[in-house]
């Protein structure tokens, strides 16, 4: 009976071994496959793909599931599935919260490298997984994954997006340059207006001082006409200033409208960036799901082959056992025959069970293949949809580029209008200065006429008139000096604008505009002339400077006197007398005749 106990022990061991194989297959079919511990960026997609595979398999083939469910279900499967689903739900919720916080973050003005770093940071988060056996990924699945990764259809879209960003940066730099130039022009206009107001106040004070008293007959003095003329000039200047302010307000409104359109364009580009990032994440997730499904299929095939080999070995060993039992059955008694028959029936039942399990595992493999085909079809459809969306984004990028070109043309037109306004403003300033000079000449003429008409009032009136004439001469010299400084400043402004245009062209070529080059434009500082007396000069130098200053003042007074109408009248009379004398001499001249 020792050999019978040995046979029963062998049968019990084989049954235990088959139970272990069944338990392992149940764990393999129920538990998700995890990758290596270092691949944190693939864990989330693998968990989601396995959950989707399980859900699709349960919904697609309920009859097949009922066939092999009693054989592969273990007592630990239900709590494990519940815990894994709860963990998966918690992690999905956490990932959605992180993604929403990332989208709400104010860092959308950076380039695409920032998005890739954020995506890698999100994918590198720790993921809770149950302890599962690690398997090495086959070379075929890794090659397929590499093929799906390398075929990225978003390279052209990224290039278009980078071009749009460069155009936006150039537009922002040009707008900044225009704003700086407009601010400088406003500062110069304010300085000139302040200077003009000072001159007008001084002119008003001089006019008030030079205003004669009313005549005894109640009539107005001859200066009333000058007052009306000055009032008319003031009204005209105020009207021109209002017109200039209105044009400046229109220009500011145009700039604000351009800024609003630019901000709208930036918002649209940011939305495009967000949609592009979502598309990239979706494509990566689908590629990882496909690669994980193929990896699971290869692993299941490998385990099924091992299980098949082991089952064949067990069946062959059982067949050999049956043959030995049949051979030994003829030599034993009836009790031994009945025991061997029972064992033979048990072995036949186990063989039938193994065949059924083999069929169920084949059906499971077929279901996995069908699921993989469905996933591939869905991935193709999603790739088609992403291609259509990419084409729409490309069209939108082209439309944004055309709008940017239109905005650039509008900005150039606004710049031309601004230059035209500056030229018109200069022309108006020159006209105002010319009118002021004419009114000064008329004022001097009226003063001379008054001086000639009222010679009998040689007392205080003549002194006041002389003092006023000296003040007017001094003011005129100040005005001439200011005009010279203005011309010098205009020349400096032209030179600085020319240098600024050259620097701006070089900066636009290099995409790096330095805004500090024009910060000091139009800020002129009066230098000290060589005629000013300094404490370190010698006596001879001081004497020479005083002589030169006296000659200069004499020349200025002579020049101012030559500009007076009395000098012109004297010069005209002198020319007439000189020509009359020359003609008289020519007509009355008789040549002398000398006798031979």
Mean pLDDT of the chain: 70
- Residue matched to tokens 């030179």: 495
pLDDT at 102: 58
Under DSSP, the state recorded for 395 is H
pLDDT at 110: 40
| pLDDT at residue 47 is higher than 50 | no
Candidate from 184-188, 191-195, 334-338 with smallest mean pLDDT? 334-338
Q: Is 457 left (phi over 0), alpha (psi -120 to 50) or beta?
A: beta
DSSP 522-576: T---PPPPTTS--TT--HHHHHHHHHHHHHHHHHHHHHHHHTSHHHHHHHHHHHH
CA-based torsion, 488, 490, 494, 499: positive or negative = positive
Q: Is 357 helix (H, G, I), strand (E, B) or coil?
A: helix
**pLDDT confidence of 573, banded at 50, 70, 90?**
very high
pLDDT at 582: 93
The length of the chain, given as a count of residues: 596
The C-alpha atoms of residue 397 and residue 377 are separated, in whole angstroms, by 30
| pLDDT at residue 539 is higher than 90 | no
| pLDDT at residue 375 is higher than 80 | yes
| pLDDT at residue 513 is higher than 50 | no
pLDDT at 576: 94
- 340 CB neighbour count, 10 Å cutoff: 19
Token reading at 379: 């991935």
The C-alpha atoms of residue 7 and residue 325 are separated, in whole angstroms, by 9
Q: Once rounded to an integer, what is the mean pLDDT over residues 276-300?
A: 82
Under DSSP, the state recorded for 516 is T
* Short-list 269, 258, 247, CA closest to 419: 247
Under DSSP, the state recorded for 215 is P
Higher model confidence: residue 104 or residue 213? 104
- CA angle, 269 then 271 then 275, to 5°: 115
| Inter-residue contact 198 to 434 (CB < 8 Å) | no
**pLDDT confidence of 389, banded at 50, 70, 90?**
confident
84, 86, 91, 94 alpha-carbon torsion, rounded to 10°:
180
**pLDDT confidence of 227, banded at 50, 70, 90?**
confident
| pLDDT at residue 134 is higher than 70 | no
| Inter-residue contact 51 to 82 (CB < 8 Å) | no
Give how far Cα 209 sits from Cα of 188, 199, 212, 213, 232, Å.
31, 15, 8, 11, 20
DSSP H helices, 454-533, are 460-510
The C-alpha atoms of residue 591 and residue 588 are separated, in whole angstroms, by 10
pLDDT at 579: 94
pLDDT at 96: 64
| Inter-residue contact 298 to 141 (CB < 8 Å) | yes
- Residue matched to tokens 């500056």: 422
Candidate from 98-107, 398-407, 482-491 with smallest mean pLDDT? 98-107
Higher model confidence: residue 84 or residue 442? 442
* Short-list 48, 44, 52, CA closest to 127: 44
Q: At what angle do helices 539-562 and 460-510 cross, to 10 degrees?
A: 100
| pLDDT at residue 32 is higher than 70 | no
| pLDDT at residue 2 is higher than 60 | no
**HSE-up (13 A, CA, CB side) for residue 311:** 21
| Inter-residue contact 165 to 308 (CB < 8 Å) | no
Higher model confidence: residue 449 or residue 246? 246
pLDDT at 80: 41
Higher model confidence: residue 450 or residue 370? 370
| pLDDT at residue 113 is higher than 80 | no
Surface-to-core class of residue 46, CB atoms within 10 Å of its CB (0-12 exposed, 13-18 middle, 19+ buried) = buried
Q: Taking the model in full, what pTM does it have?
A: 0.24
């Amino acid at each position: 009976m020792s050999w019978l106990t040995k046979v029963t022990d062998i049968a019990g061991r084989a049954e235990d071994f088959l139970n272990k194989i069944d338990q392992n297959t149940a764990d393999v079919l129920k538990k998700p496959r995890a990758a290596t511990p270092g691949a944190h960026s693939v864990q989330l997609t693998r968990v989601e793909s396995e959950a989707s595979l399980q859900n699709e398999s349960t919904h697609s083939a309920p009859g097949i599931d009922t066939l092999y469910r009693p054989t592969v279900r273990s007592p630990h499967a239900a709590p494990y599935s519940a815990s894994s689903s709860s963990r998966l739900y918690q992690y999905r919720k956490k990932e959605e919260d992180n993604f929403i916080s990332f989208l709400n973050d104010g860092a959308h003005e950076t380039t695409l490298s920032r998005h890739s770093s954020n995506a890698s940071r999100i994918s590198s988060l720790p993921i809770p997984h149950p302890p599962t056996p690690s398997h090495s990924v086959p070379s075929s699945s890794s090659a397929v994954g590499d093929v799906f990764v390398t075929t990225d259809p978003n390279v052209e879209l990224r290039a278009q997006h980078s071009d749009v960003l460069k155009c936006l940066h150039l537009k922002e730099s040009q707008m900044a340059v225009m704003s700086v130039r407009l601010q400088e022009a406003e500062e110069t206009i304010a300085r000139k207006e302040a200077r003009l107001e000072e001159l007008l106040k001084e002119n008003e004070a001089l006019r008030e001082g030079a205003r004669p008293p009313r005549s005894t007959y109640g009539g107005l003095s001859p200066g009333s006409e000058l007052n009306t003329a000055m009032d008319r000039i003031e009204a005209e200047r105020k009207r021109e200033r209002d017109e200039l302010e209105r044009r400046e307000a229109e220009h500011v409104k145009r700039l604000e409208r351009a800024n609003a359109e630019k901000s709208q364009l930036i918002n649209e580009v940011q939305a495009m960036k967000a949609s592009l990032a979502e598309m990239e994440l979706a494509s990566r997730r689908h590629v990882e799901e496909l690669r994980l499904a193929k990896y699971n299929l290869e692993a299941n095939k490998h385990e099924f082959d091992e299980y098949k080999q082991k089952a064949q070995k067990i069946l062959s060993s059982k067949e050999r056992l049956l043959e030995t039992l049949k051979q030994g059955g003829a030599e034993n008694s009836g009790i031994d025959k009945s025991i061997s028959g029972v064992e033979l029936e048990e072995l036949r039942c186990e063989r039938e069970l193994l065949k059924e399990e083999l069929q169920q595992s084949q059906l499971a493999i077929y279901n996995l293949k069908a699921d993989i085909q469905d996933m591939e079809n869905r991935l193709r459809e999603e790739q088609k949809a992403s291609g259509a969306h990419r084409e729409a984004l490309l069209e939108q990028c082209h439309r944004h580029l055309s709008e940017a070109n239109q905005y650039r043309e509008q900005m150039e037109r606004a710049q031309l209008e601004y230059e035209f306004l500056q030229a018109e403003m200069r022309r108006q300033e020159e006209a105002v200065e010319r009118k002021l000079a004419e009114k000064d000449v008329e004022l001097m003429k009226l003063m001379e006429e008054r001086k000639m008409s009222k010679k009998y009032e040689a007392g205080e009136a003549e002194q006041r008139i002389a003092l006023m004439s000296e003040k007017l001469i001094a003011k005129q010299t100040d005005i001439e000096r200011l005009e010279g400084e203005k011309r010098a400043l205009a020349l400096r402004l032209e030179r600085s604008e020319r240098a600024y245009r050259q620097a701006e062209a070089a900066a636009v070529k290099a995409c790096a505009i330095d805004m500090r080059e024009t910060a000091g434009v139009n800020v002129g500082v009066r230098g000290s002339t060589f005629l000013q007396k300094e404490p370190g000069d010698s006596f001879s130098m001081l004497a020479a400077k005083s002589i030169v200053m006296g000659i200069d003042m004499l020349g200025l007074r002579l020049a101012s006197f030559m500009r007076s109408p009395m000098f012109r009248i004297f010069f005209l009379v002198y020319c007439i007398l000189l020509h009359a004398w020359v003609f008289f001499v020519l007509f009355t001249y008789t040549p002398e005749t000398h006798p031979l």
